């Protein structure tokens, strides 16, 4: 059982979907949670829900497409023991329909913001002799599909960064790992899932898409004290996802 009492966690994109489930899971394990997102109403609602259960949480807003806003978020966070880079966007368009601005937005939210947060927060973790970072990637980083190249590239870069950071900060006591998530039902994917219907269930050997809590359980494992020899790894959490390519 992971006990995170006395630990502070920053969870980006915690106002919805997987991030919300992660914030709730880390809080239930005893962590003080900084809930990040853009939507102040959903942020306040989650903080109230955590507080009502006896947990400790606060909300910080930041638009991760804005590098200065990410720096402000890092300052607002202060010293954290656990950083979960979860916030992400996935506009799954064909390449010709993806503008330079679309590409930049994927890189800014999915890759640059985690880079900035690690650069800002890891040195204090090093000074304190430890900390854990969990990056939420996607099976799209390794599997290919006829759409979503910009998204896949942004997550592949995040996985490369995960291995670099594990090597860079590992000797100082930090652990940096990732999760390559398969299809999960969230606020963001709901419209997509409604459009493809039951066909999406055939994508996984489990015959169903995942629940945010099933990702949060693995984040808790990676963030907590029961994974002390796990570093620089990206764990696939996808119910046995099959390639989208024929054959």
Ligand X SMILES: NC(=O)c1ccc[n+]([C@@H]2O[C@H](COP(=O)([O-])OP(=O)(O)OC[C@H]3O[C@@H](n4cnc5c(N)ncnc54)[C@H](OP(=O)(O)O)[C@@H]3O)[C@@H](O)[C@H]2O)c1
Q: Identify the CA nearest to 203 among candidates 219, 216, 185, 186.
A: 185
Residue found under tokens 């919300």: 20
19 in Cβ contact with 11 (< 8 Å): yes
Near ligand X by CB under 6 A, which window of 117-125, 163-171, 184-192, 200-208?
184-192
What residues are paired with 191 via a beta bridge?
Answer: none
Q: Which of 56, 58, 187, 206 binds ligand X (CB under 6 A)?
A: 187
Nearer to ligand X, 90 or 115 (CB): 90
Q: Which of 4, 34, 59, 90 binds ligand X (CB under 6 A)?
A: 90
User: Is 109 one of the binding residues for ligand X (CB under 6 A)?
Assistant: yes
Half-sphere exposure of residue 208, counting CA atoms within 13 Å on the CB side?
5
Nearer to ligand X, 64 or 121 (CB): 64
Q: Is 151 in the active site?
A: yes
Positive or negative: CA dihedral 86, 3, 237, 54: negative
Q: Which of 29, 33, 87, 222 binds ligand X (CB under 6 A)?
A: 87
Q: Give the N- to C-terminal CA distance of the chain in Å, as an integer.
A: 41
Distance CA(66)–CA(154), nearest Å, equals: 17
235 phi, psi to nearest 5 deg: -90, 130
**Taking CB under 6 A as the criterion, which residues in 136-175 touch ligand X?**
136, 138
178 in Cβ contact with 162 (< 8 Å): yes
Cβ neighbours, 10 Å, residue 184: 22
Size of the site for ligand X (CB under 6 A): 30
Cβ neighbours, 10 Å, residue 231: 19
User: Is 178 one of the binding residues for ligand X (CB under 6 A)?
Assistant: no
Nearer to ligand X, 28 or 200 (CB): 200
> Which residue in the list 90, 151, 164, 229 is annotated as catalytic?
151
| Beta carbon of residue 209, minimum distance to ligand X (angstroms, whole number) | 7
Interaction mask 209-238, ligand X, x per CB under 6 A: ------------------------------
User: Is 135 one of the binding residues for ligand X (CB under 6 A)?
Assistant: no
User: Is 33 one of the binding residues for ligand X (CB under 6 A)?
Assistant: no
Catalytic residues: 151
Contact residues: ligand X, CB under 6 A: 13-19, 37-39, 42, 62-65, 86-90, 109, 136, 138, 181, 183-184, 186-189
């Amino acid at each position: 059982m992971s006990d995170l009492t006395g630990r502070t966690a920053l969870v980006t994109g915690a106002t919805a979907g997987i991030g919300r489930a992660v914030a709730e899971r880390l809080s239930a394990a005893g962590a003080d949670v900084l809930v990040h997102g853009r939507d102040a109403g959903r942020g306040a609602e989650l903080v109230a829900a955590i507080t009502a259960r006896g947990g400790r949480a606060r909300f910080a807003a930041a638009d991760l497409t804005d590098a200065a806003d990410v720096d402000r978020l890092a300052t607002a966070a202060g010293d954290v023991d656990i950083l979960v880079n979860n916030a992400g966007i996935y506009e799954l368009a064909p390449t010709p329909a993806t503008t330079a601005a679309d590409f930049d937005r994927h890189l800014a939210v999915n890759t640059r913001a985690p880079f900035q947060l690690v650069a800002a927060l890891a040195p204090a973790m090093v000074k304190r002799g430890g900390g854990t970072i969990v990056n939420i990637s996607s099976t799209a980083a390794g599997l290919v599909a006829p759409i979503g190249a910009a998204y896949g590239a942004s997550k592949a870069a995040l996985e490369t960064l995960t291995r670099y950071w594990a090597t860079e900060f590992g000797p100082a006591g930090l652990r940096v790992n990732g999760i390559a998530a398969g299809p999960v039902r969230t606020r963001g994917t709901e419209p997509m899932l409604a459009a493809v219907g039951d066909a999406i269930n055939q994508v996984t050997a489990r015959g169903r898409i995942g629940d945010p809590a099933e990702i949060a359980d693995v984040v808790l494992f990676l963030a907590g004290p029961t994974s002390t020899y796990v570093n620089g790894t990206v764990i696939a959490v996808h119910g046995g996802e099959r390639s989208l390519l024929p054959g």
